[in-house]
A and B are shown apart, each in its own frame.
Chain A
Amino acid sequence: MTAVPRPLVTAAGVAAAALLVTSCATSATTASGDSGADGGKQTITFMGFFGTFQDSFTKTVIEPFEKANPDISVKYVPIQNSAEVLAKLRASKKNPTADVALMDSSVAPTANEEGLFAKLDSAQVPNLSELVDEARSKNGYGPGVTLDSLSILYNSKAVDKAPTSWNDLWDASYRGKLAMPIADTRGVALIVALEKILGKDYKKDIDPAIDRLKELAPSVETWQPSPDVYTAVQSGEADIAVGWNARGQFYKDTSGGVVQPVLPEEGTVKQINTINLVANSGHADAAQKFIDYAIGAKAQKAFDDDAYYAPVNRNAQLKSEVAARTTASAEQQKRQIPVDWSWMTSRYTAWVDRIKREVIGG
């Protein structure tokens, strides 16, 4: 009985082995790029966020970098979110598919601990000394490269009285018109802000913020606007929402001012993306040169002026109209709500679970 299929089993085994070998071979080539071992042109692979972020980063950081370093070219691999970066790097630990990767600062400590990222050599990344405090890495891993912040968004055609404070979310006139996508980092940041407003310490007890959010629940139209919160505000599906400032500012421009992001008067909480050297990268020198460039004053000014992030480099002076629309303005600088994202790493899931279960009621 078994005699019949045996040759087939062998053939299948051979084919499978061949497939494995070839797939390994291809991943090996993509990993190290077409590396010029003899000092020729090198290609480093950069994992960054997709969409408008990619457009802006390519134009303002990568292209000038390549011009300044003709021997290095940068390949941009667009990714959806930090979870995808983590998954890809875990799957290719020994022979990584990227040399430099962006990652949210609440996820990066996990990747650092797993040995997916390598520590930087400060001699090769001199711009590290110019960083603002919140972008600095405590332990030598990748520094912050973008500073975003949580904003209130509103539809200027539908809302007469513009919100100015986080407390305005509870305003009765907005009842049933709120879009609150807070079952993720935005909710975690909002809890930090509310704790500060309520005079509490988020590191000790987040019950007060959770209770406050529970009061908001009946006013919420959607906890998950589709396709995203910015288009929901633009279309008038929701009048008031919370969202990230940089993207909100982008939509303010493209919607002709219908979408209005507000940095609340109590201050806001920053979200930090870190730029990291992938462990076992075959191009550690070129990769660190790129990281150094990306956090440098010139690249920071160019990128932030285009994409409305706040600079991580102290010496980057944004255009004044851009600074006023980010946390870089002197006024906003004074009232930022501090948050310890690496501390958050171990609490993140529990907080999101509490938002889902107690506030949204899943």
Chain B
Amino acid sequence: MSGTATAAGDTVPGPKGGPRTAASGDGARAPRGPRPGRTALFLLAPGALALLFTYAMPLVWVVRMALNEPLDGGAIRQTLTFGTFTQVLRDGHYWKVIGQTLQLGVLVTVFTLLLAYPVALFLARTTSRWRSLLMALAVAPLLISSVARTFGWMAILGNQGLINKTLQALALTDGPLPLANNMTGVVIASVEIYMPFAILAMISGFGRLEPELERAAASLGANRLAVLRRVVLPLTLPGVLTAALLVFVLSLSGYVTPRLIGGGRVFVLATEIYDEAITSLNWPVAAVLSVLLLVLFGIVIVLYQRAQRALERRFTGEKGASR
């Protein structure tokens, strides 16, 4: 599939907070049983080796490339300098790119959560016998590559697209509305593309939600809004948080959608890295931007873990034993 799927596998810890927290956990978290034995290590070896070659080594190579100096015409001077970092960080253009990347991430995350939450809540609570079918439908878009889905959105949002054709046929607008080839189009398409991920992440994080609690709250006089606000929302917050992390990180690294529907106006880190590497042949700058993107991921994941820990502390004094 597209780059977004690999990015998800590479950078996003699982919905349960990821193995890193478990391994390096703070004192409150008990270690997971005895140290892994020989068999376990043996079983881990193939995966670890594969990761070493496909992930760790290329990463080292990228960091090394970031310390080289770009010369004119795509040539590279082998050296060890932070000069390229300084050059990038002093250049307002790249700050603008970072700003737009974050802006896209925030917009997409907010809209995706707003749209996915009701769906996830419904799917988690429903007792309908169609539940499995509805679940399958909710994640069915994942069966189609995001490239195809982005092209689908272009057919809908473009100047010759469904919406603009209809609006003009009804004489509601003079010219076409600028729905594609800009940030608007990228946000709309991205939201739809990431919604299944958000729904799945939310449902898996809705474990605490039990119908009895809602009924109990209602019996104590809470109206439906109060139940939603004071019972359902807090209980589902861990799932929402995981979905937020997943969607945010996916959209930070997303390349396909901004490239295809952005009309060349939406400059984000992923497209900029491609342009620097392929069009300008400036590998050191492309590598520096990749490192910056990685740093950004790091920051986001630290923030997520802090938020998650704060959330767990709020839950009835449980010491993070359960999730």
Which residues of A does B touch, CB under 8 Å? Answer: 4-5, 8, 11-12, 15-16, 19, 81, 83-84, 86, 106-107, 109-110, 113-114, 176-177, 181, 183-184, 221-227, 235-237, 345-349, 352-353, 356-357, 360-362
Bound: A86/B73 CA distance, A = 12
| Residue of B whose beta carbon sits closest to that of A362 | B267
Stretch of B136-144, B151-159, B216-224, B314-322 with 4 or more beta carbons under 8 angstroms from chain A? B151-159
20 residue pairs from A and B, CB less than 8 Å apart: A4-B35, A4-B41, A8-B38, A15-B45, A110-B74, A114-B75, A176-B159, A177-B159, A181-B264, A183-B279, A222-B263, A226-B151, A226-B259, A345-B72, A353-B93, A356-B93, A356-B267, A361-B265, A362-B93, A362-B97
A355 to chain B minimum Cβ distance, whole angstroms, is 10
Q: Annotate B181-209 by CB proximity to A: 1 below 8 A, 0 otherwise.
A: 10000000000000000000000000000
Whether A224 and B279, one on each chain, are in contact in the complex, defined by CB atoms closer than 8 angstroms, is no
Residues of A within 8 A of B73 (CB): 106-107, 109-110, 345-346, 348-349
A176 in contact with B175 given A110-B75, A224-B262, A345-B73 (CB within 8 Å): yes
Instruction: Report yes or no: A83 in contact with B154, Cβ–Cβ below 8 A.
Output: no
Q: Which of A11, A86, A225 is close to B74, meaning CB atoms less than 8 Å apart?
A: A86
Most buried by A among B151, B275, B279: B279
Main secondary structure, interface of B, reads helix
Closest to B262 in A: A224
Q: A83's contact among B41, B48, B262, B279, by CB below 8 Å, is which?
A: B279
- The verdict on A226 contacting B49 (CB below 8 Å), with A83-B279, A110-B73 known, is no
Shortest Cβ gap from B47 to chain A (Å) = 12
> Using Cβ atoms and an 8 Å threshold, which residues of chain A touch B134?
none
Q: Contacts of A356 on B, CB cut-off 8 Å?
A: 93, 267, 275
List of A residues within 8 angstroms of B96 by Cβ: 362
How far is B38's CA from A236's CA once the two chains are assembled, in angstroms?
A: 64
* Interfacial chain A residues near B35, Cβ < 8 Å: 4
Cβ–Cβ contact B280 & A16, under 8 A: no
Complex: chain A residue closest to B44, CB-CB: A8
Chain A residues with CB under 8 Å of B264's CB are: 181, 183, 222-224, 360
Contacts of A11 in B (CB 8 A): 45
Tell me, in angstroms, the Cα distance from A113 to B176 when the chains sit together.
50
Asked whether A8 lies within 8 Å of B280 as measured between CB atoms, the reply is no
Q: In residues 148-187 of chain B, which contact A (Cβ within 8 Å)?
A: 151, 154, 158-160, 175-176, 181
B277 touches A83 (CB 8 A): yes
Question: How far, in angstroms, from A353 to B281 measured CA to CA in the complex?
Answer: 12
Q: Which partner residue on chain A sits nearest B41 by CB separation?
A: A8
Asked whether, in the complex, the Cβ of A357 is within 8 Å of the Cβ of B93, the reply is: yes
B74→A81 contact, CB < 8 A: no
Chain A residues whose C-beta falls within 8 Å of the C-beta of B259 in the assembled complex: 224, 226
Q: List A contacts of B279 (CB < 8 A).
A: 83, 183-184, 352
Neighbouring B residues of A84 by C-beta, 8 Å: 278
In the complex, residue of chain B having the shortest beta-carbon distance to the beta carbon of A5: B41
Which one of B49, B181, B277, B281 contacts A222 once the chains associate, using CB atoms below 8 Å? B181
Cβ < 8 Å to A, chain B residues 1-56: 35, 37-38, 41-42, 45, 48-49, 52-53
Residues of B within 8 A of A352 (CB): 279-280
B135 interface residue per 8 A CB criterion = no
Q: CB-nearest residue of chain B relative to A109?
A: B73
Contact B265 A237 (CB under 8 A): no
Candidate in A4, A11, A362 with the most chain B CB atoms within 10 angstroms:
A362
Check: B106 CB closer than 8 A to any chain A CB.
no
CB-nearest residue of chain A relative to B180?
A: A222
B49 touches A16 (CB 8 A): yes
Bound: A352/B262 CA distance, A = 18
- Is A83 touching B278 in the complex (CB atoms < 8 A)? yes
Contact B263 A86 (CB under 8 A): no
Task: For the complex formed, measure the closest distance between the CB of B140 and the CB atoms of chain A, giving whole angstroms.
Answer: 24
Complex-state Cα separation, A113 to B175, whole angstroms: 52
Contacts A4-B35, A106-B73, A347-B72 known; 12 new A-B pairs at CB < 8 A: A83-B277, A84-B278, A113-B75, A181-B264, A183-B264, A223-B264, A224-B264, A226-B151, A226-B259, A236-B160, A237-B158, A361-B265
> A86 contacts which chain B residues (CB < 8 A)?
74, 281
Whether B280 contacts A353 by the Cβ 8 Å rule is yes
Chain A residue nearest to B35 (CB atoms) is A4
Smallest CB gap from A1: residue in B: B35
Q: How far apart are B275's CB and chain A's nearest CB, in angstroms?
A: 7
Q: What 8 A-B pairs come out closest when comparing CB atoms? A: A223-B264, A224-B264, A346-B72, A222-B263, A345-B73, A362-B267, A222-B181, A349-B280
Q: Looking at the complex, which one of A81, A114, A221 makes contact with B263 (CB distance below 8 Å)? A: A221
Report the minimal beta-carbon distance from B248 to chain A, rounded to whole angstroms: 22
Residues of chain A within 8 A of B280, CB atoms compared: 348-349, 352-353
| B240 is an interface residue with CB less than 8 A from chain A | no
Chain A residues, CB < 8 A from B97: 362
- Measured between beta carbons, the chain B residues less than 8 angstroms from A107 are 73-74, 281
A106 to B42, CA, bound (A): 51
Q: How far is A345 from B72 in the complex, measured between Cα atoms in Å?
A: 7
Q: In the complex, which of the residues A15, A83, A349, A361 contacts B72, with contact meaning CB atoms closer than 8 Å? A: A349
Q: With the chains together, A302 CA to B296 CA distance in Å?
A: 53
B242 lies within 8 A of chain A by Cβ: no
Q: What is the chain A residue whose CB lies nearest that of B285?
A: A349
Give Cα distance in the complex from A346 to B41, angstroms: 52
Write the chain A residue with the least CB distance to B279.
A184
Of the candidates B45, B160, B260, the one whose C-beta lies within 8 Å of that of A12 is B45
Q: Check A4 against B263 for contact (C-beta < 8 Å).
A: no
Q: Determine if B281 and A83 form an interchain contact, defined as CB atoms under 8 angstroms apart.
A: yes
Residues of B contacting A109 with CB < 8 Å? Answer: 73
Contact with A along B246-271 (1 / 0, CB 8 A): 00000000000001111111010000
Residues of B within 8 A of A345 (CB): 72-74
